[in-house]
Amino acid sequence: MTRIAIWGLGAIGSAMAEQLSRTESYEVLGFDINPVTIREALAAGVIRGAFNPAEINALPIDLLVVAVPPTETMAVLRDLQTNNLVVDVASIKQPIMQAANHLPHFVGGHPMAGTDETGFLGRKKVRFNQASFFLVGNDADCRRIMTLLSPLDSRFETVDATEHDTLIALTSDATHLIAQALVATLVVNVSGEARPFIGPGFRDTTRIAAANPELWTQILLANRVATTEAVTNFMIELQRLRELLVENNAAELLAALTAIQQIRRELA
């Protein structure tokens, strides 16, 4: 019997618990700061039982998953004293690795399976299947994580913490700020009812602006240096396109948009 303990039953933690619980020979235990969430998870069969974090050292488990917001994750890891294998799921890795440097078997994890939905019910929007799941740690512990979490059917990749945070700043963190800025621009510059003019393009581009502000404040500040640089680089590219508009330069604008289109299609 493989036993997994998941600390935090928000969208990611409960989605992971639910998928692992469907796997034969897996037993998933859960803890959440909200007792109501624990009861809901037990009633829904998302977890088999609950555990007390104070007893984590004595718990016969194969893996502890810490699935709480970044600031709380760092606090949990700093206070944690265990020889068990531990993985987190926060989207920032350098400060997490520093907070866990006293743990003998810690792997920094980041499943690219998030959603703008929060809480226990948000698990229904989380998709681990074929999503990238980054791991930072020694090879042996990373291989154990890949085996233990294989029922998620994710694409596991080992990365360096610094490289991870730099790339995530561009592909995730900065995109949240950009989406939020676009929504703010609409509010500031449009008088009257704009809803009839909002189509799929605006909705698709700004979907992530509906994400949890408290969570994203933590994420953005934890990775602020790399995110600031990513936003600066974005502004340079935006200014380049703006200048083509100002100059009424159809040929250069077409060439720029065509090149960007090709890159985007290759990313799909």
* DSSP letters spanning 196-246: GG--HHHHHHHGGGGS-HHHHHHHHHHTHHHHHHHHHHHHHHHHHHHHHHH
C-alpha of 238 from chain center: 26
pLDDT band at 122 (very low <50, low <70, confident <90, very high): confident
Yes or no: say if 26 and 4 are a contact pair by the CB < 8 Å rule. Answer: yes
Give the pLDDT of residue 209.
Answer: 93
Yes or no: say if 142 and 135 are a contact pair by the CB < 8 Å rule. Answer: yes
Residue 262 pLDDT more than 90? Answer: yes
Q: Give the separation between CA 62 and CA 151, rounded to whole angstroms.
A: 15
Give the pLDDT of residue 94.
Answer: 97
Inter-CA distances, 18 with 28, 73, 123, 150, Å: 8, 21, 9, 14
Stretch 226-236: mean pLDDT, rounded?
A: 97
Count of CB atoms situated within 10 Å of the CB of 138:
12
Give the pLDDT of residue 190.
Answer: 76
pLDDT tens for 193-205 read 788 888 999 999 9
pLDDT band at 268 (very low <50, low <70, confident <90, very high): confident
Residue 115 pLDDT more than 80? Answer: no
Give the pLDDT of residue 194.
Answer: 80
Residue 169 pLDDT more than 90? Answer: yes
Give the pLDDT of residue 120.
Answer: 84
**Whole-number average pLDDT of the chain:** 94
Q: In 102-121, which positions are buried (b, 16+ CB within 10 angstroms) versus exposed (e)?
A: ebebbbbbbbbbbbebbebe
Helices 174-189 & 224-246 angle (0-180, nearest 10): 50
pLDDT band at 187 (very low <50, low <70, confident <90, very high): confident
* Exposed / middle / buried, residue 23 (Cβ in 10 Å: 0-12, 13-18, 19+): middle
Stretch 58-67: mean pLDDT, rounded?
A: 95
Rounded to two decimals, the pTM is: 0.89
Residue in the structure block whose two tokens are 């294989």: 150
Residue 119 pLDDT more than 90? Answer: no
Residue in the structure block whose two tokens are 């109501």: 36
The two tokens of residue 37 are: 């969430």
Q: Give the separation between CA 125 and CA 136, rounded to whole angstroms.
A: 25
Yes or no: say if 113 and 12 are a contact pair by the CB < 8 Å rule. Answer: yes
Helix ranges restricted to H, the chain: 11-21, 35-43, 70-79, 94-99, 139-148, 161-168, 174-189, 200-206, 213-222, 224-246, 250-267
Give the pLDDT of residue 106.
Answer: 98
Stretch 227-236: mean pLDDT, rounded?
A: 97
Residue 240 pLDDT more than 70? Answer: yes
Stretch 147-160: mean pLDDT, rounded?
A: 97
Stretch 37-51: mean pLDDT, rounded?
A: 96
Q: Give the separation between CA 5 and CA 49, rounded to whole angstroms.
A: 9
Residue 191 pLDDT more than 70? Answer: no
